Amino acid sequence: MASISMTVNGREVSGDAEDRTLLVEFLRNNLGLTGTHVGCDTSQCGACVVHVDGEAVKSCTMLAAQAAGSAVTTIEGLAAGGELHPVQKAFHENHGLQCGFCTPGMIMAATDMIRRHGASLDEKTVREELEGNICRCTGYHNIVKSILAAANEMGGAQQAAE
Amino acid sequence: MIPGSFDYHRPRTLNEAVGLLADHAGDAFILAGGHSLIPMMKLRMATPEHLIDIQDIGELTGINVAGGTIEIGAAVTQAALISSAALADACPILRETSLQIADPQIRNVGTIGGNVANGDPGNDMPAVMQALDAEYLLHGGGGERTVKARDFYEAAYFTARDESEILTSIRIPVPAQGHGYSYQKQKRKIGDYATAAAAVILSVSNGNCTAASIALTNVADTPLWAQAASDALVGTDLGAAAVTAAVDAARAITDPASDGRGPSEYRTHVAGIMVKRAIEAAHERAA
Ligand SMILES: Cc1cc2nc3c(=O)[nH]c(=O)nc-3n(C[C@H](O)[C@H](O)[C@H](O)COP(=O)(O)OP(=O)(O)OC[C@H]3O[C@@H](n4cnc5c(N)ncnc54)[C@H](O)[C@@H]3O)c2cc1C
Ligand code: FES
Ligand code: FES
């Protein structure tokens, strides 16, 4: 048992956990942040994607101890002041989900890819970038549409600000 | 699944890490990105008592291209290889290969050191390192030594690295200006390991192949440097006869397992196709 500390969604947190505790368990069990899902548990489906120090990672294949001292963002950390994040809003408006199980990971992967590509994201790139996220329901079509819509809005907003 | 119990260590220096490896001789594993090791620990295929996380060791990061040599720190991630402008210029096969490994989130954490030290014949970088004639720097209690990628792999998960050593960096001779390159990989689905894959580096002058190096992934229990296949190209015009001779020579050294990726004969067949495509793509790119 060790005390593990990190910043999660902007808040300093710590919890006692065995060294073998996975980051996803720490988030779900120690912190009660159950928005991050476990699908495959073998780093293939992407339901568990969170950001660690700004980079998208699969939290089922990272130890909580590896993320100690880091800044972690989960799906719960995206909406600000009761307003949905533009990617969440785009998934809502474009029917980017059905059962919703894959959605937290999809949205965390999407915000990471929009951060890297900005408004220049095209459909081919989105589809390639979704290699590590599996959806059993939607056929991906509306997920791709949602991400492109969000990239457009966020990229446009960025340009307007500049 | 939860891995078995272990003690987690996070040293800040290379010496501290080497000391920990020595203190726990045989019971300690290096933890880099963890994307090969943690899945194996979940399945109890690896049961280390101590994990030594190298993420805080600054000496293991960095990409340097100088004096005809590329040096890449063991902890450099696949994502960093993809975004390096210096590498895209000096040795573009590294980017081409990295983009064919797993998916974006895994590439954000998976390291080049972990990929080449792991010893899984399915890893893609080892064959590329053999094609490039890279060498690995190993640091242990007794000091530093280098081992060529072509001499490093002994059997599946057995390498020339002593368990008391850390792989600190990889040195690659900068390939000739205008060289052609290609990494061709057949996989069953996105994010899968290769059914068979081939790396080719070659140079062409006045229509003639002046140098060639071919290596194969996942068609034996180690990566294979295909020396006879490479030699079959040198001095030719890279026409159909030369390509066939190289493909035959490459196929002759394969010994793939029959498994979920297909029967042995099929995987040898696919290896031949990958070699052919990689030679053709490299030829087209050579200036
Ligand atoms: C779903 C999935 C798909 C994948 N697909 C592919 C693929 O198509 N191709 C491919 O090549 N890989 C693939 N990988 C593996 C991935 O690229 C790994 O990240 C990589 O093989 C290992 O790098 P790592 O940094 O994660 O190493 P770790 O998992 O941390 O370590 C792997 C092994 O190397 C040892 N090690 C690590 N660093 C050092 C060092 N510096 N010195 C000494 N020993 C060290 C460790 O002790 C361990 O035994 C896949 C992984 C997953 C989960
Ligand atoms: S639960 Fe982590 S990738 Fe599927
Ligand atoms: S919406 Fe059901 S798995 Fe994607």
pLDDT in tens, B231-268: 999 999 999 999 999 999 999 999 999 999 999 999 99
B1: pLDDT confidence band, cut at 50, 70 and 90?
Answer: confident
Residues of A with CB below 8 A from B79's CB? 55
Locate A85 and state its tokens: 């994040």
Average pLDDT of the residues in B265-282: 98
For ligand 3, atom 4: residue with the closest CA:
A135
Task: Based on the fold, state whether residues A56 and A8 are members of the same structural domain.
Answer: yes
pLDDT score, position B141: 86
SS (H, E, C) chain A: CEEEEEEECCEEEEEEECCCCEHHHHHHHHCCCCCCCCCCCCCCCCCCEEEECCEEEEHHHCECHHHCCCEEECHHHCCECCECCHHHHHHHHCCCCCCCCCHHHHHHHHHHHHHHHHHHCCHHHHHHHHHHCCCCCCCCHHHHHHHHHHHHHHHHHHHHHC
CA dist B281 and A97 (Å) reads 40
pLDDT score, position B26: 87
Quote the mean pLDDT of chain B: 97
Whether A9 and A77 have beta carbons less than 8 Å apart is answered as yes
- Tell me if B42 and A131 make a contact (CB, 8 A cut-off): no
Judge whether B43 is closer than 8 Å to chain A, CB to CB: no
Average pLDDT of the residues in B16-39: 96
Task: Based on the fold, state whether residues A124 and A93 are members of the same structural domain.
Answer: yes
Closest by Cβ to B8, choosing from A46, A65, A109: A65
CA dist A123 and A146 (Å) reads 11
Judge whether A135 is closer than 8 Å to chain B, CB to CB: no
Task: Based on the fold, state whether residues A24 and A68 are members of the same structural domain.
Answer: yes
A162: pLDDT confidence band, cut at 50, 70 and 90?
Answer: very low
Quote the mean pLDDT of chain A: 94
Q: Is B256 helix (H, G, I), strand (E, B) or coil?
A: coil
* Strand ranges across the sheet with B50-53: B7-9, B50-53, B28-31
Task: Based on the fold, state whether residues A44 and A19 are members of the same structural domain.
Answer: yes
Task: Based on the fold, state whether residues A71 and A31 are members of the same structural domain.
Answer: yes
How many domains are contained in chain A?
A: 2
Residues of B with CB below 8 A from A132's CB? 102-106, 191
Task: Based on the fold, state whether residues A72 and A26 are members of the same structural domain.
Answer: yes
B66: pLDDT confidence band, cut at 50, 70 and 90?
Answer: very high
Average pLDDT of the residues in B77-82: 98
A157: pLDDT confidence band, cut at 50, 70 and 90?
Answer: low
Task: Based on the fold, state whether residues A25 and A65 are members of the same structural domain.
Answer: yes
Return the higher-pLDDT residue of A161 and A140.
A140
Q: Is B183 exposed, middle or buried (0-12, 13-18, 19+ CB in 10 A)?
A: buried
Task: Based on the fold, state whether residues A58 and A94 are members of the same structural domain.
Answer: no
Q: Which of A56, A77, A98 is the last residue of a domain?
A: A77
A140 lines ligand 3 (CB under 6 A): no
Return the higher-pLDDT residue of A157 and A82.
A82
Q: Which runs of E-coded beta strand occur in B119-194?
A: 135-140, 143-148, 153-155, 158-159, 166-173, 180-186
Angle ∠(B218,B111,B171) on CA atoms, nearest 5: 85
Q: How distant, in Å, are the alpha carbons of A145, B215, B256 from that of B128?
A: 37, 7, 18
Question: From ligand 2's centre to the CA of B113, what distance in Å?
Answer: 23
Q: Which of A54, A77, A100 is the last residue of a domain?
A: A77
A135 lines ligand 3 (CB under 6 A): yes
Task: Based on the fold, state whether residues A90 and A69 are members of the same structural domain.
Answer: no
Closest by Cβ to A41, choosing from B1, B102, B108: B1
pLDDT score, position A159: 52
pLDDT in tens, B191-216: 899 999 999 999 999 999 999 999 99
Residue in B222, B226, B198, B219 with CA at minimum distance from that of residue B267: B219
Task: Based on the fold, state whether residues A91 and A154 are members of the same structural domain.
Answer: yes
Here the CATH number for the domain that contains residue A53 is 3.10.20.30
Residues of A with CB below 8 A from B10's CB? 65, 68
CB within 8 Å of chain B, chain A residues 112-131: 112-113, 129, 131
Average pLDDT of the residues in B77-89: 97
Q: Which of A13, A46, A77 is the last residue of a domain?
A: A77
Whether B240 and B283 have beta carbons less than 8 Å apart is answered as no
Residue % of chain B over a pLDDT of 70: 100
- Is the pLDDT at B219 greater than 70, yes or no? yes
Average pLDDT of the residues in A47-51: 98
Average pLDDT of the residues in B87-109: 97
Mutate to test the interface with B, among A131, A133, A140 (most CBs of B within 10 A): A131
Residue % of chain A over a pLDDT of 70: 96
Mutate to test the pocket of ligand 2, among A37, A45, A75, A102 (most ligand atoms within 8 A of CB): A45
Whether A132 and B110 have beta carbons less than 8 Å apart is answered as no
pLDDT score, position B73: 98
Average pLDDT of the residues in B210-237: 98
Residue in B54, B115, B53, B51 with CA at minimum distance from that of residue B79: B115
Which protein residues touch ligand 2 with a CB less than 6 Å away?
A: A 38-41, 43-48, 58, 60
Task: Based on the fold, state whether residues A102 and A155 are members of the same structural domain.
Answer: yes
- Is the pLDDT at B36 greater than 80, yes or no? yes
pLDDT in tens, B132-184: 999 999 999 889 999 999 999 999 999 999 999 999 999 999 999 999 999 99
Domain range for A125: 86-161
Task: Based on the fold, state whether residues A49 and A112 are members of the same structural domain.
Answer: no
